[in-house]
């Protein structure tokens, strides 16, 4: 039991730490892109800024609105953060180094992330504020819709690798990273993960100009921080998934080394590059309209996903002629 506890902490604490530094990285990178300085007062070069923010949020008062359904109001951020952290159980950090190497790991992650809608929906409903309600409606419609193309892309990758286990998906890419045969699909994937994590240019739920802060407008202090952490944990998990699905996960190019430390470091490096892409897009693109967002999903990405799926399985079956 103590060993289990230790192992869980070994996953959770660095995860929360990396989320803290992700927020700092986002502010710094966006500041550089917009020719500002960014946070530079707390600690050397602003490095202690996230901890200052976290402590501030810890000590602030959590206001619970009088009209709110209090239990659900507090439960919804709890659900969001718990589910965002739970998905990490299936991620392999290096060869053979996953908390639980599930044979259906991809499906497990899909199931856990599909439950994340509840936090959003319940938060908006329980707060009993108009902004929160509209924000949660939009956000849940968006999350639910983009789950379908996400599942389609995952389906294609699974049909190529022939396994739902993350470890085997990574090991499959020893010859070639999947981004090379699947470059068009990876572009679709990038669009989907931006929408699935509520990031710019698809940050409709939190579009400040219309909805103030969307579904979490009434949440303050730590309940708000839970939403924030949950959102960044899901961004991080999407970055890691991108590197697992398309960039060979923990594999080091050309098989230079196979030390687990280096492998996990390489996985972190790849994921950081994907996260940099998230920030880059946020600093570059304006927000789309909500109807455009839905039309993009239902009329472009989903049919494209199905068409690509048919193409891929036909190709696989055609070139695997010996087994028939």
Partner 1 sequence: MLLFFILFVPLFVLILLGVHMLVATSNPDAAKVSPYECGMNSVSDARQKFQVSFFLVALLFIVFDLEILFLYPLTVSLYHISLFGFWIAMVFILIITVGFIYELASNVLDYAKTPSSKITPPNPPRAKLLAGIRNYSTSSSLPSST
Partner 2 sequence: MNVFLLEILPFVAVIFAISLLTALNPILAVLFLIAVFITVSAYLALLGLTFLALSYLIIYVGAIAILFLFVIMMLDIKLAELSSSGEEASKVYPVAFLIGTPFLWTLTGSPLFRGDTLYSWFDLTTLGIAHISDPSALQWTNLFAAFSNIHSLGVCLYTVYPLWLIYAGIILLLAIIGPIILCLDKTSGSTS
Footprint of partner 2 on this chain (CB under 8 A)?
A: 69, 72, 102-104, 107-108, 110-112, 114-115, 117-118, 121-122, 125, 137, 140, 144, 147, 164
Question: Closer CB to partner 2, residue 18 or residue 171?
Answer: 171
- The yes or no reply on residue 288 touching partner 1 (CB under 8 A) is no
Question: With binding defined as CB under 8 A, does residue 273 bind partner 1?
Answer: no
In whole angstroms, the minimum distance from the beta carbon of 92 to partner 2 comes to 18
Residue 204 tokens read as 């409709």
For partner 2, which is the closer residue by CB, 125 or 278? 125
From the CB of 70, what's the least distance to partner 2, in Å? 13
Output the 3-class SS for the chain: CHHHHHHHHHHHHHHHHHHHHHHHHHHHHHHHHCCCCCCCCCCHHHCCHHHHHHHHHHHCCCCCCCCCCHHHHHHHHHHHHHHHHHHHHHCECCCCCECCCCCCHHHHHHHHHHHCHHHHHHHHHHHCCHHHHHHHHHHHHHHHHHHHHHHHHHHHHHHHHCCCCHHHHHHHCCCCCCCCCCHHHHHHHHHHHHHHCCCCCCCHHHCHHHHCCHHHCCCCHHHHHHHHHHHHHHHHHHHHHHHHHCCCCCCCHHHCCCCHHHHHHHHHHHHHHHHHHHHHHHHHCCCCCHHHHHHHHHHHHHHHHHHHHHHHHHHHHHHCHHHC
Residue selected from 20, 81, 238, 241 as contacting partner 1 according to rule CB under 8 A? 81
Contact window for partner 1 (CB under 8 A) among 26-34, 63-71, 174-182, 247-255: 63-71
Please, what is the minimum distance in Å from the beta carbon of residue 28 to partner 1? Answer: 26
Q: Does 18 bind partner 1 (CB under 8 A)?
A: no
Torsion sign across C-alpha atoms 154, 286, 299, 137: positive
Q: What minimum distance in Å lies between the beta carbon of 186 and partner 1?
A: 18
| Smaller CB separation from partner 1, 11 or 52 | 11
Subset of 90-119 contacting partner 1 (CB under 8 A): 99-100, 102, 107
Largest Cα span, the chain: 69
Between 219 and 270, CB nearer to partner 1: 219
Q: Does 82 bind partner 1 (CB under 8 A)?
A: yes
Task: Kindly report the backbone phi and psi dihedral angles of residue 66, in degrees, each rounded to the nearest multiple of 5, phi listed first.
Answer: -65, -30
Nearer to partner 2, 11 or 72 (CB): 72
Residues 33-52 within binding reach of partner 1 (CB under 8 A) = none
Least separation in angstroms between residue 289's CB and partner 1 is 8
Q: How far is the CB of 108 from partner 2 (least distance, A)?
A: 6
Token digits of residue 3:
């060993």
- Between 183 and 222, how does the x/- string for binding to partner 1 read (CB under 8 A)? -----------------------------x----xx--xx
Nearer to partner 1, 127 or 274 (CB): 127
Residue 121 Cβ, how far from partner 1 at the closest point, in Å? Answer: 10
């Amino acid at each position: 039991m103590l060993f289990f506890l230790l192992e869980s902490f070994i996953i959770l604490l660095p995860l929360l730490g990396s989320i803290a530094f992700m927020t700092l990285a986002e502010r710094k990178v966006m500041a550089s892109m917009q020719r500002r300085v960014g946070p530079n007062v707390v600690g050397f070069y602003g490095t202690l800024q996230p901890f200052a923010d976290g402590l501030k949020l810890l000590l602030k008062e959590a206001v619970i609105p009088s009209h709110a359904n209090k239990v659900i109001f507090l439960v919804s951020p709890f659900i969001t953060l718990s589910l965002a952290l739970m998905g990490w159980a299936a991620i392999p950090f290096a060869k053979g180094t996953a908390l639980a190497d599930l044979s259906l790991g991809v499906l497990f992650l899909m199931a856990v992330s599909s439950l994340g809608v509840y936090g959003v929906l319940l938060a908006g409903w329980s707060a009993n504020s108009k902004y929160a309600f509209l924000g949660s409606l939009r956000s849940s419609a968006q999350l639910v819709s983009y789950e379908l193309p996400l599942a389609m892309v995952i389906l294609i990758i699974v049909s190529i690798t022939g396994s739902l286990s993350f470890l085997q998906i990574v090991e499959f890419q020893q010859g070639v990273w999947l981004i090379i045969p699947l470059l068009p699909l990876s572009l679709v994937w990038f669009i989907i993960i931006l929408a699935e994590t509520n990031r710019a240019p698809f940050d409709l739920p939190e579009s400040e100009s219309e909805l103030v802060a969307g579904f979490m407008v009434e949440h303050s202090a730590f309940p708000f921080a839970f939403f924030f952490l949950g959102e960044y944990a899901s961004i991080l998990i999407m970055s890691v998934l991108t590197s697992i699905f398309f960039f060979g996960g923990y594999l080091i190019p050309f098989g230079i080394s196979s030390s687990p430390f280096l492998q996990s470091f390489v996985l972190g490096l790849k994921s950081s590059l994907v996260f940099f892409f998230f920030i880059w897009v946020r600093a570059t693109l304006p927000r789309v309209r909500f109807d455009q967002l839905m039309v993009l999903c239902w009329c472009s990405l989903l049919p494209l996903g199905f068409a690509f799926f048919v193409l891929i399985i036909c190709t696989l079956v055609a070139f695997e002629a010996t087994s028939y």
